[in-house]
Structure 1
Amino acid sequence: MFFDSMHDLWRVFLVGTLAYIGCIVMMRLSGNRTLSKLNSFDLVVTVAFGSTLSSILISSDIALAEGLFAIALLVLLQFVITWLSVRSGAVNTIIKTAPTLLLRNGRMLDDAMRKVRITSDEIRTAVRQKGMGNLEQVAAVILETDGSLSIISAEKLGSGSALEGVQGAGDRLQH
């Protein structure tokens, strides 16, 4: 019930330690972008790393070399896709979603909210978490490519140049 054999525990210890070291080496060699949370694609890759590492640890059917090869393949594919997305607008469009404006100058944009499946309660929660008491203080709420909500106060909007590339921002916001 608690364990089948001491051999299995030692296997998990040894394979886990070596797989962990292998992961660290591969992540260091591949650079910071490999485990970033810049968009939903990055999240999927990070989950795949965890799942692969878990499989190496738990399943005695997967040899350490096979598991490390699988992780190396994920690192390589992440590198290739991000390299291509930086150099090709078409690949970038396929991989990344555009940030979307959900609230402009205190008014919620219902069509945009419906399109990205965000409720007004979720927007109000994010605004409150920023310590703001009323929506009129908010120049913009943006659903970012990583799924987070960015809130820009009217006071901090400035020229609004940070909104370039945000779906629905079109013209820069007015004070």
Structure 2
Amino acid sequence: MFEITWDSFIRIVTVGSLAYIGLIFFLRISGKRTLTKLNAFDLVVTVALGSTLATILLNSQVSLLEGLTAFALLIGGQYIFTFLAVRSKSFNKFIKSEPKLLYLDGSFLEDAMKKERINRVEILQSIRNQGIGNLEKVKAVVLETDGSMSIIKGEPGNTLSNVESKKNI
């Protein structure tokens, strides 16, 4: 349990260093978009990259080349999907959700909250996390595509233009 052989130690250090350098290389050539967490799809890719790196480090049956190929496949797939999503509205809608309005002008939008499986306590927690202690200061709460909640104070502007709601803004 607490033992390690010199061979496995040397393998972990060598393969781990090279895999880490390979991952950084792939991330640099793929651009900043690869590690954004704008939606669930991006989060899955980020977690999968971390899992792949751990597998390369700890599983001696996975070669460095296999691991680097997995990195290239994940990053390449994410690049292709985001490339298509930017150019096709229907593909974008297929892989991404829309932001959803949960609270507006003093009213909790119960239907939207039920659909998104969000309750009042979670919305109130998000408001408190922004340092706001009074609901009167909150104009709107939006559940974003990445699962975070945006709290909007004062009058809404153009930032609510693409938010799904049954109320007219």
Pairwise same-fold verdict (TM > 0.5): yes
**C-alpha separation in 2, matches of 1:114 and 1:142:** 14
The runs of 5 or more residues in structure 2 that have no matched partner are none
Alpha-carbon shift at residue 90 of structure 1 (Å):
1.3
Q: 4+ residue runs of structure 1 moved beyond 4 angstroms?
A: none
Q: Which residue of 1 aligns with 2:149?
A: 149
Q: Distance in 2 between matches of 1:47 and 1:165?
A: 28
Structure 1 distance, partners of 2:66, 2:130, is: 46
Match of 1:166 in 2: 163
How far off its partner does 1:169 sit?
A: 6.4
Alpha-carbon distance in structure 1 between the residues aligned to 2:16 and 2:80: 27
- What's the C-alpha RMSD, in Å, of the aligned pairs? 1.1
- Counterpart CA distance in 2 for 1:14 and 1:114 is 50
Tell me what 1:100 maps to. 100
**Which residue matches 2:67?**
67
- The aligned amino acid for 1:112 is A
Residues 1:81 and 2:78 aligned together: no
> Which residue number corresponds to residue 48 of structure 1?
48
Give the structure-2-normalised TM-score. 0.96
Q: Distance in 2 between matches of 1:144 and 1:29?
A: 28
| Alpha-carbon shift at residue 3 of structure 1 (Å) | 2.2
Tell me, what secondary structure is at the counterpart of 1:22? helix
User: How many pairs does the alignment contain?
Assistant: 169
Could you tell me how far 1:79 is from its partner in structure 2? Answer: 0.4
Q: Taking structure 1 as the reference length, what is the TM-score of the superposition? A: 0.93
Identity of aligned residues (%): 51
